[in-house]
Structure 1
């Protein structure tokens, strides 16, 4: 029994010694790694160029070839990310950092070393860089501006409607693509603006519907509309007969028509008979026809759903 206890104690001590030794090895390894990473190393790294602020019509060609090789000196800690990604991205502005030729950009690497050093940061010391100049080829597509057709599916709370028209942040967009495809496009449409039971002002961002093989700039627009409480009104308006021959006498009935309209409360009291013009055109009558079809020639801009109760005006020639 005593011998068993002695064996168990020895095994326990051995296991503790193994754990301590393993921990010591691990700590020593960590210190070794930190020591190595604290040293400076010289290494060639790849700098991948990303060109920003490019014209909408420009398409970069062989984008994967826009790479520079920089011979740098840096601490091991700084170089660790290159174990997972073998390049660093450098952003260049097409309008300020590059020279624009007829079908390519030119980046003078030696002249603009400071731009690269700024983006690398103080952790890197750049010893040299190749090539001396970087040529970035591109091609251009056709473009033009086209109007925007707003697509809405909006229902309003009873007694509410928009006052005036929908206001778009811009009235046209640039479409970019092949010459043939651009020629086929006369307008673009927005995605449907779907709102229900609206009773307050509308403010929304809405995207332009995509078109195959075409890019649109911008991709979205802002839409605004003023929503007001509306009411229905009616008014009697006299009929005006136009194009009647001078030697012709005509008697027509009725002499007035009832106009119905929908208007916001702010403008309800502003509606006057003179805001409307209703005409019957003598030249529009056909042989043996004994009636006119009245037409609304003028109406207030702020009035909606303007309609006439009378659809015809009878007449006789005297």
Structure 2
């Protein structure tokens, strides 16, 4: 009982103290961004009974600064004057708290004009498939770009946004997955239109096929006859089961460029210069074509 009486006795007395108040900025015009300034604090001296002091010790005190009515726009900054807080001290602190002093007299808030920039999203993925499965077309990301909003000098430095790493193994069905974006963590002045994107991919059954394709010799000098062997070459391709039956030798073209050979060479190098979009990959075998020059 004595302890309780002592506490109530202390709380019923009037005290004068100085506290550090943080700043809560509201109603900032959308076309401006206020640059972060950790020094934007107020040292406020108040006089109040002990009971009224309790709320300041249980939560970090803040002062609300309304950018529609409490500040004046200057050339490159907004200015707040302590006279604002004296005019509205009852609303801010209550009628039982007396405002004694505020320091500093002014607060300066530097601002910049917001820039909106569209930047591409880059997929960071490590995806492997079960044998016999693959994705025919490229993965799609929705959306494939996002808007970055903020000060011109900060936004102009951002060229792309990467996704968090995606690891998928033994995939054998369509891909539909939300991925978080790897956004800069140390800059609170930037706003991003999206924090995650959706990864999509159509997974199909795949198979390998082989076709014999004629070889054409190009850029042979006038008056020269070249005999070569073999006349056809194997094109080994990788495609989906859906496209397999539609692929023919006419979908590929293989040439040997005589001008790319040297005088000491007895072989030509075949090149696959035409590949149908119905296959994912294609290669040729053998890699050398033997030739002789007829007099």
TM value normalised by structure 2: 0.61
Aligned twin of 1:253: 229
Decide which structure has greater helix share: 1
Rounded to whole Å, the distance in 2 between the matches of 1:196 and 1:127 is 66
Structure 1 position 159 matched with structure 2 position 132: yes
SS in 1 for 2:250: helix
Aligned residues: 266
Aligned twin of 2:208: 232
Rounded to whole Å, the distance in 1 between the matches of 2:133 and 2:74 is 55
1:286 Cα deviation after fit: 0.8
Aligned twin of 1:10: none
Structure 1 position 284 matched with structure 2 position 260: yes
Structure 1 residues 132, 224: CA separation in 2 closer, same or farther (over 3 Å shift)?
A: same
Superposition RMSD in Å: 5.5
User: Which stretches in structure 1 are left out of the alignment for 5+ residues?
Assistant: 1-21, 38-42
Structure 1 position 242 matched with structure 2 position 222: no
1:231 Cα deviation after fit: 1.8
Say whether the 8 Å CA contact 1:191–1:208 is kept in structure 2: yes
Aligned twin of 1:269: 245
Say whether the 8 Å CA contact 1:236–1:256 is kept in structure 2: yes
Output one character per residue of 1:170-202: Cα deviation in whole Å (capped at 9) or x when no partner: 46997x9xx9xx99x998865542211111233
Rounded to whole Å, the distance in 1 between the matches of 2:109 and 2:161 is 33
Out of 281, 304, 307, which is 2:280 matched to?
Answer: 304
Aligned twin of 1:81: 55
Rounded to whole Å, the distance in 1 between the matches of 2:128 and 2:40 is 54
Structure 1 residues 154, 86: CA separation in 2 closer, same or farther (over 3 Å shift)?
A: closer
Rounded to whole Å, the distance in 1 between the matches of 2:266 and 2:57 is 93
Rounded to whole Å, the distance in 2 between the matches of 1:93 and 1:159 is 62
Aligned twin of 1:49: 23
Aligned twin of 2:39: 64
1:137 Cα deviation after fit: 3.7
Q: Larger Cα Rg: Structure 1 or Structure 2? A: 1
Rounded to whole Å, the distance in 1 between the matches of 2:123 and 2:107 is 45
Rounded to whole Å, the distance in 2 between the matches of 1:69 and 1:293 is 84
Rounded to whole Å, the distance in 2 between the matches of 1:69 and 1:90 is 13
1:282 Cα deviation after fit: 0.9
Rounded to whole Å, the distance in 2 between the matches of 1:50 and 1:90 is 5
1:85 Cα deviation after fit: 2.6
1:299 Cα deviation after fit: 1.4
Say whether the 8 Å CA contact 2:163–2:179 is kept in structure 1: no
User: Which stretches in structure 2 are left out of the alignment for 5+ residues?
Assistant: none
Rounded to whole Å, the distance in 2 between the matches of 1:216 and 1:300 is 45
TM value normalised by structure 1: 0.58
Aligned twin of 1:193: 166
